[in-house]
Chains A and B, each alone.
Chain A
């Protein structure tokens, strides 16, 4: 009995080793590059979040439109706001088109904040396959408190945030600077759930933003909030101004506006899929074409609306590349200006 058990265990061990280390079958001459291969999508966050869901929805359909129909494998590599996954992806991944990365805005914000040398990756050198942009953020204020926003003699409106890094916070910083908003930023909340709870309680958060239509509708229906403005136009909340419209003739020009564009641009990147630098152009082209075809399919649209967001936009390859460069390739003066606004709001130490 004992011998049988040993034999069985050895067999399992040996077969596992064979399965893991077996060389891939040699490609048939003339066969598509991806035939019989496996594409690994590294997700720079934990399972279950928006980034992970985007990768999983893409993995379900992507392979169908790549000649050779490779297998798709999802690998979650969370940690340090995605930096661990990006660092390994940028520096150590073989650029053979078989490993892709699903990243998010947090990586963009991190590069803006620390610079490519400190974080050891550079998003401007990635080969982008495409990106998915969910709805734009809508700024909410507690019902009946709008008047305090422009009344300097009133108690400042308390704005709740996580670490003062959210894209929507630009509305607060530029609003304080150019519209004279009477606001005080309180960072330290753990996530959107905590923020919403704090918003509903008396005496805590009085202003925060969300892009989630489900949360926004719930808050409005409950009668606890009213809309101030949104970053961009939202078809599901018509009649509400964008922040740019609110600025009117107070809209700044030059460096302050370039800084606004750079900060907000991160929201236009949202969830991106990329190949590592150095990936051959022909393989990138195959992947971009497959991403385009996939994004036009109704079943992809249905699943995206079900799992990720009720409304979203898709950008392909070069478009993503242009958006990313527009956000990240900015002058030092722009970066300094952003830091100055953050300092004024007390988000970073003076």
Chain B
């Protein structure tokens, strides 16, 4: 195994391979900086180049683009409140309030460092656990997947602040929004009003941009000034952010493990893992910290998870040759063309390729992290620019993000509808994060609930892993209100109502 690991590293560290990784990182980071522009389009365009580069070249190019597909999104999420992708939405909850308090650079520093460390831990854990993942993946079925989604949805408790009923209603609205489209099991039309445009359902990026980014931009334009309400020097706190990650080393390890543990499930991992990590960070804080006002641990946890997930999404590909995501499917196309056979052979005769993939993930994430960190000082100036310079930029990015997901004008119309909903939710102090959480998890939740019932009837409720995950849900979701109640009794919890009013 060590020989294969060294052989993989040696092949990837060749100057030509290193250049390819660097190019891949630049391309992937550019994609990740623009909301709605995922790595899929870039990977599709890279395939013809990858197939002529040989096996290691294909790994270097495809995996480096794939590995950094969420790195740059930290910057836009924290600075402007625009989520680059569904896994990045959790970062906004605490990251954007930090920017408002003039701590944007600290938040980005913490987020990017956590991403890098999370990616490294993810890669190491992936290497160590390769032999056990295959039986583990085979042991979990639709009921366990459904319980994972319930774990994610239980985070509503945390995201609703002091308005749990409003939070629950917002989550229900999110779930309803995602019911629009053709029912995947029967092909029946649901809430499509005879409009084929709605058959494929609603892209998650549209409510994400409309509910969060646009109301913030409107508020910012009306209020004037700059995003940062407190004046600090440009880039101040960057080093503090980096130090924060090492101060909270145990949280980073835990969040990374959540990323690996939840992330390997195809089509499920990323979005749920980041919310679970955020909930865990809050539960473990025992009610202490600046939660809801911009708490750095609320940035560290989801960011560490996001990058750890990048490695674990490759597990189904490495163990079975099954793509865990669209990006992984595109990587497989390129790999097959250069003679790499994803599947069990990757853990036997082609182990050197497996390690080349893992090392590429590590190196690409390090390069992307350092590249983005070097840009923090100039980019964090955005938080201090006057509203008339920043609002048009945010609006252009938001509309570009909405349009680039499918290149359809109707997406812009939907964005405007969600923006109106978001505006009124903000105006009347409704928590907006539960709506997005509901929307992100609804399709997966519905699918696995149906499949659990179809295959197992009611017996799925007593499967051992279902009970274990249920206990985890009770533990995570129950601890947060319990700790906060205790802290309140001690008089530690500050007046959060006013803060929530200004932020939600």
**Chains A and B form a bound pair:** yes
Contact with B along A167-202 (1 / 0, CB 8 A): 000000000000000000011111001101110111
Query: Is the CB–CB distance between B138 and A187 below 8 Å?
Result: no
Q: Does A314 contact B (CB under 8 A)?
A: no
Q: Which of A87, A113, A193 has the most CB of B within 10 A?
A: A193
A187 CB to nearest chain B CB (Å): 4
Give the segment of A4-12, A76-84, A230-238, A279-287 that binds chain B.
A76-84
Assess whether B456 is interfacial by the CB under 8 Å rule: yes
**Does A186 lie within 8 Å of B451, measured CB to CB?**
yes
B137 within 8 A of A: yes
What's the nearest-Cβ distance from chain A to residue B402, in Å? Answer: 15
Taking CB atoms and an 8 Å cut-off, the chain A residues in 198-233 that contact chain B are: 198, 200-204, 214-215, 218, 222
**A59 smallest CB distance to B (angstroms):** 12
B110 to chain A, nearest CB (A): 34
Whole-angstrom CA separation of A158 from B337 in the bound complex: 34
| Min distance, Cβ B136 to any Cβ of chain A, angstroms | 11
Decide yes or no whether A153 CB sits under 8 A from chain B: no
The closest CB in chain A to the CB of B316 belongs to A197
Residues of chain A contacted by B185 (CB below 8 angstroms) = 163-164, 187-188
Contact status A164-B344, CB under 8 Å:
no
CA distance A217 to B187 in the complex (A): 31
Q: Which of A53, A76, A162, A187 has the most CB of B within 10 A?
A: A187
A71-98 Cβ-contact flags toward B at 8 Å (1 or 0): 0000011111101100100000000000
Bound CA span A106–B267, Å: 23
A47-B40 in contact given A83-B199, A84-B196, A188-B454 (Cβ < 8 Å): yes
Q: How many residues of chain B get a CB closer than 8 Å to chain A's CBs?
A: 46
Cα separation A189 to B267 with both chains bound (whole Å): 11
Choice from A48, A163, A214, A222 contacting B326 with Cβ under 8 Å: A48
Q: Is A348 an interface residue (CB 8 A)?
A: yes
- B316 contacts A193, C-beta separation under 8 Å: yes
Could you tell me the distance between the alpha carbons of A98 and B292 in the complex, rounded to whole angstroms?
56
Taking the nearest CB of chain B, how far is it from the CB of A163, in angstroms?
5
User: How many Å from the CB of A210 to the closest CB on chain B?
Assistant: 12
Q: A201-B138, A203-B455 are in contact. Are A194 and B186 (CB under 8 A)?
A: no
A190 B184 Cβ-Cβ under 8 A: yes
Q: Are A348 and B40 in contact (CB under 8 A)?
A: no
Q: Cα distance A198–B139 when bound, in Å? A: 10
- Asked whether, in the complex, the Cβ of B184 is within 8 Å of the Cβ of A188, the reply is yes
Give the distance to chain A from B339, nearest Cβ to Cβ, in Å: 11
Q: How far is the CA of A78 from the CA of B451 in the complex (A)?
A: 27
Please tell me if the beta carbons of A203 and B186 are within 8 angstroms of each other in the complex: no
Does B289 have its Cβ within 8 Å of any Cβ on chain A? no
CB of A81 within 8 A of CB of B138, answer no
Does A200 contact B455, Cβ atoms closer than 8 Å? no
Q: Which residues of B contact A289 (CB under 8 A)?
A: none
Q: Is A80 in contact with B187, judged by CB distance below 8 angstroms?
A: no
**What is the distance, in angstroms, from A145's C-beta to the closest C-beta of chain B?**
15
Q: In the complex the two chains form, is A222's CB within 8 Å of B344's CB?
A: yes
Partner of B196, one of A53, A83, A222, A307: A83
Q: How far, in Å, is B188 (CB) from chain A's closest CB?
A: 8
Q: How far is the CA of A21 from the CA of B146 in the complex (A)?
A: 52
Q: Does B497 contact A (CB under 8 A)?
A: no
Taking a contact as CB atoms under 8 Å apart, the answer to whether A187 and B186 are in contact is yes
B379 contacts chain A at the CB level, 8 A cutoff: no
Known: A163-B185, A188-B184. A79 touches B322 (CB 8 A): no
- The yes or no answer to B252 lying at the interface (CB within 8 A) is no
Task: Point out the residue from B183, B266, B456 that lies within 8 Å of A203, measured CB to CB.
Answer: B456
| Secondary structure type dominating chain B contacts | helix
With A190-B184, A218-B343 known to touch, is A197 a contact of B196 (CB < 8 Å)? no
How many angstroms between the C-alpha atoms of A202 and B139 in the bound complex? 8
Q: How far is the CA of A328 from the CA of B330 in the complex (A)?
A: 33
A237 to chain B, nearest CB (A): 18
Kindly state whether residue A244 has any CB partner on chain B within 8 Å: no
| A79-B137 contact given A187-B185, A306-B337, CB 8 Å threshold | no
A-chain residues with CB within 8 Å of residue B326 when the two chains form the complex? 48
B16 at the interface (CB under 8 A from A): no
Which chain A residues lie closer than 8 Å to B407 at the CB level? 76-77
Contact between chains at A197 and B320 (CB < 8 Å): yes
CA distance A194 to B142 in the complex (A): 10
Would you call A197 and B451 a contact (CB within 8 A)? no
CA distance A77 to B407 in the complex (A): 8
Task: Tell me if A165 counts as interface (CB < 8 A to partner B).
Answer: yes
Chain A CB within 8 A of B197 CB? yes
A203 to B187, CA, bound (A): 25
Contact of A193 among B44, B139, B329 (CB under 8 A): B329
B132 smallest CB distance to A (angstroms): 16
Interface presence of B41 (CB below 8 A): yes
Would A163 and B184 count as touching, CB distance under 8 A? yes
| Chain A residues within an 8 Å CB radius of B406 | 78-79
Interface residue B324 (Cβ < 8 Å from any Cβ of A): yes
- Residues from chain B with Cβ under 8 Å of A197 in the complex: 137, 266, 316, 320, 322
The contact string, 1 if C-beta is below 8 Å from chain B, for chain A 236-279, is 00000000000000000000000000000000000000000000
Taking a contact as CB atoms closer than 8 A, the residue among A77, A204, A347, A348 that contacts B142 in the complex is A204
A241 to chain B minimum Cβ distance, whole angstroms, is 27
Interfacial residues of chain B within 437-459, with CB under 8 A of chain A in the complex: 447, 450-451, 454-456
- A52 to chain B minimum Cβ distance, whole angstroms, is 8
Any A CB within 8 A of the CB of B162: no
Q: How far is the CB of B482 from chain A (nearest CB, A)?
A: 36
Across the interface, do A48 and B329 meet the contact criterion of CB distance under 8 Å? yes
With the chains together, A48 CA to B66 CA distance in Å?
A: 15
Q: Which residue of B lies closest to A187 (CB)?
A: B185
A39 to B221, CA, bound (A): 45
Contacting pair A349 B186 (CB below 8 A): yes
* B267 and A214 contact, CB distance less than 8 A: no
Q: How far is the CA of A87 from the CA of B197 in the complex (A)?
A: 11
Please state if B322 and A196 are interface contacts (CB–CB under 8 Å): yes
Name which residue of chain A comes closest to B51, CB basis: A306
B54 within 8 Å of A (CB atoms): no
Q: Is the CB of B187 within 8 A of A165?
A: yes
Q: Among B41, B343, B451, which residue has its beta carbon within 8 angstroms of that of A188?
A: B451
A302 to chain B, nearest CB (A): 11
Query: Considering the chains assembled together, what is the distance between the CA atoms of A163 and B200 in angstroms?
Result: 13
Known: A80-B197, A196-B322. A190 touches B44 (CB 8 A): no
The answer to whether B324 touches A307 (Cβ under 8 A) is no
CB neighbors of A among B349-371 (8 A): none
Distance (Å) between the CB of A242 and the closest chain B CB?
Answer: 27
Are B51's CB and A81's CB within 8 A?
Answer: no
CB distance from A284 to the nearest CB of B (A): 28
The 4 closest A-B pairs by CB, nearest first: A188-B185, A80-B199, A80-B196, A47-B44
In the complex, besides A162-B184, A190-B267, A348-B186, 19 extra interface pairs with C-beta distance below 8 angstroms are A48-B44, A48-B326, A48-B330, A76-B407, A79-B199, A80-B196, A80-B197, A81-B199, A83-B199, A84-B408, A113-B187, A163-B183, A186-B451, A189-B451, A201-B139, A203-B141, A215-B321, A218-B321, A307-B337
Q: List 9 A-B contacts (CB under 8 A).
A: A52-B44, A79-B200, A79-B406, A83-B196, A84-B408, A188-B184, A188-B450, A204-B142, A218-B320
